[in-house]
Structure formats: C-alpha cells, structure tokens
Amino acid sequence: MFVCICRAVTVDEVHEHCDAGAYTVDDISDRCGAGEGCGTCLDKLDSILSERLATATSAA
C-alpha cells in the first residue's frame, strides 16, 4: 500500500527506512522524498512512527 502517492513510497519502504535509522518524518523525507509533495501523507508517516515507538516501548 502506498503511503505517499506523490513519490510512490510504500508502507514497507517506510518501515525499511525506519529499520535503517529514520526516526522522524524529516528523516524519512530525506531518505525517500515522502512528504515533500502535497503533504497529505505526513499524518500517516507520523502514525507509522508512533506505532513503531509504541511497539518498541512495550517490547522493552
């Protein structure tokens, strides 16, 4: 599923960038361009990051 239509970035790609050290929406944007077009995906990117943080925190 696409997160960012403008840059054709998928959910899986976002997770890969997070696994490689992207911890903020800006980090993700720097790596793949998501969020740099219309900006509609910014909330979804933030949601993905929050879910990952919650999962990491509960697993610790």
CATH of the domain at 48: 1.10.10.1100
| Band (59; pLDDT cuts 50, 70, 90) | confident
How far is the C-alpha of 28 from the C-alpha of 26, rounded, in Å?
A: 5
Which helix (H) or strand (E) segment holds residue 37: the answer is none
Number of domains in the chain: 1
pLDDT digits (tens, 9 = 90+) for 20-49: 999 999 999 999 999 999 999 999 999 999
Tokens representing residue 43 in the block? 């909330």
Q: Name the residue range of residue 46's domain.
A: 2-58
How far is the C-alpha of 60 from the C-alpha of 47, rounded, in Å?
A: 20
For residues 50-60, average pLDDT: 87
Degrees (nearest 5) of the Cα angle 30, 17, 60?
A: 125
pLDDT score of 40: 96
Does the pTM exceed 0.85?
A: yes
The CA distances from residue 3 to 32, 42, 57, 60, in Å, are 12, 9, 24, 28
